[in-house]
Amino acid sequence: MTNKSLAKDYLVRAHGRRKAIQTLFDSNLFADVVRECQESLELALKGMIRHVGHVVPLNHDVSAKLSEMRLDLPAELQAQLPRLIEISKKMRRDREIAFYGSEDITPSEFYDQAAATQAMSELDEVLSLIPQDFAG
């Protein structure tokens, strides 16, 4: 059974978080922008997955699930699937490093305005591709 209310909640929250991301950007917290963009993207894609009746994976990169369920998506999303998968994979790679860093990477030094702008642009692209009726 598909919980459409939960799918809608994910999508509404993804859009709402986008507004908070702008505040982080305006504060020059670019690593946090990258991390929050990934989390919002993940929520949006998981909302889409749930909306079409699939079980949501418990991992952060949902690209494999998107490939698996491609025929259950509306035609306009099927056409955009390669791009959705590309963005999901790319943002997943930055998830932990943008938050925690590593011995040789300090997030605030590694992620700059250009990286944050790119992450926001990719999130906006995905949010614009998901049909509004998925969010209710």
List the domain boundaries for the chain: 4-130
**Which of 77, 92, 94, 91 lies closest to 121 in space, CA to CA?**
91
Mind listing the pLDDT tens digit for each residue in 40-81?
Answer: 999 999 999 999 999 999 999 999 999 999 999 989 899 999
Mind listing the pLDDT tens digit for each residue in 77-126?
Answer: 999 999 999 999 999 999 999 999 999 999 999 999 999 999 999 999 99
Calculate mean pLDDT across residues 7-30: 96
Structural tokens at position 69: 């369920």
Distance between CA 99 and CA 118 in Å, rounded?
Answer: 17
Q: Does domain 4-130 have CATH number 1.20.120.330?
A: yes
What is the helix (H) or strand (E) element at residue 65, kind and residue range? helix 63-68
Q: What confidence category does residue 1 fall into, taking pLDDT thresholds of 50, 70 and 90?
A: very low
Q: Does residue 132 register a pLDDT over 90?
A: no
Structural tokens at position 106: 């300090």
